């Protein structure tokens, strides 16, 4: 048992970003112990002292190289992953944003965590979607109309 396993698991806070362009959102195919090989939003862990907006801006920059603007809170969801190779629990803050430069294209900045980023029309999303995102879509959530 290493030091990490000895600590009782706790919920963590994640910030994810619906980056909107026309009628499309930016998704990447995950390489991770949670939701491997599923399409997910850019995002990651809230760092100590950060605002949700700051975290959204930082994560999108770190993962895609893109600069975002009009970053705003949409909602919070509770996501428990007990059946994953590494069980985890996230309180996920969903944000919405737009490209600072509408012409800028994403770069795959963390190829060990993602197979690549692309734009997908909201009405024609790829499969499989990452569980928390899939749940929202099935509930009829639409990031363009909230
Ligand atoms: P970091 O260490 O760079 O901060 O984090 P990361 O490696 O980029 O974390 P992540 O797994 O991409 O995101 C953290 C958690 O956020 C993830 O394990 C579960 C939760 N999460 C959702 N929905 C989504 C989503 O659509 N995309 C991403 N990336 N994470 C999501 O609940
Ligand atoms: Mg991430």
Whole-angstrom distance, CA of residue 73 vs CA of residue 71: 7
CB of 130 shorter than 6 A to ligand 1: yes
Query: What tokens were used for 20?
Result: 């909107």
What ranges make up the beta strands (E) of 9-139?
12-21, 24-30, 39-40, 43-45, 68-81, 88-99, 114-121
How many structural domains does the chain have? Answer: 1
Ligand 1 atom with the shortest distance to the CA of 34: 18
Which atom of ligand 1 is nearest the CA belonging to 88?
18
Q: How many CB atoms lie within 10 A of CB 65?
A: 14
In a domain, 143, yes or no: no
Residue 42 CA to ligand 1 centre (angstroms) = 7
With respect to residue 145, please indicate whether it lies within any of the assigned structural domains: no
Decide: 17 in ligand 1 pocket, CB within 6 A.
no
Residue with CA closest to ligand 1 atom 10: 44
pLDDT greater than 90 at residue 85 = no
Q: What is the pLDDT of residues 13-53, one digit of tens each?
A: 999 999 999 999 999 999 998 999 999 999 999 999 999 99
Per-residue confidence (pLDDT) for residue 7, from 0 to 100:
79
Q: Decide: pTM greater than 0.85.
A: yes
Q: Answer whether residue 144 is part of any domain.
A: no
Token pair for 80: 């428990």
Query: Which structural domain range is residue 82 located in?
Result: 11-138
Q: Pairing relation of β-strands 12-21 and 88-99?
A: parallel
Whether the pLDDT of residue 66 is over 80: the answer is: yes
Domain at 54, CATH number: 3.90.79.10
């Amino acid at each position: 048992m290493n030091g990490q396993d000895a600590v009782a698991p706790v919920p963590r806070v994640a910030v994810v970003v619906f980056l909107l362009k026309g009628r499309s959102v930016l998704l990447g195919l995950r390489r991770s112990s949670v939701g491997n090989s599923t399409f997910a939003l850019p995002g990651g862990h809230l760092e100590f002292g950060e605002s949700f907006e700051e975290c959204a801006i930082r994560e999108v920059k770190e993962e895609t190289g893109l600069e975002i603007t009009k970053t705003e809170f949409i909602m919070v969801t509770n996501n428990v992953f007990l059946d994953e190779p590494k069980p985890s629990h996230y309180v996920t803050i969903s944000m919405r944003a737009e490209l600072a430069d509408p012409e800028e294209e994403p770069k795959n900045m963390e190829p060990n965590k993602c197979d690549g980023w692309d734009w997908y029309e909201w009405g024609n999303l790829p499969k499989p979607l990452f569980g928390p995102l899939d749940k929202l879509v099935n509930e009829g959530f639409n990031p363009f109309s909230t």
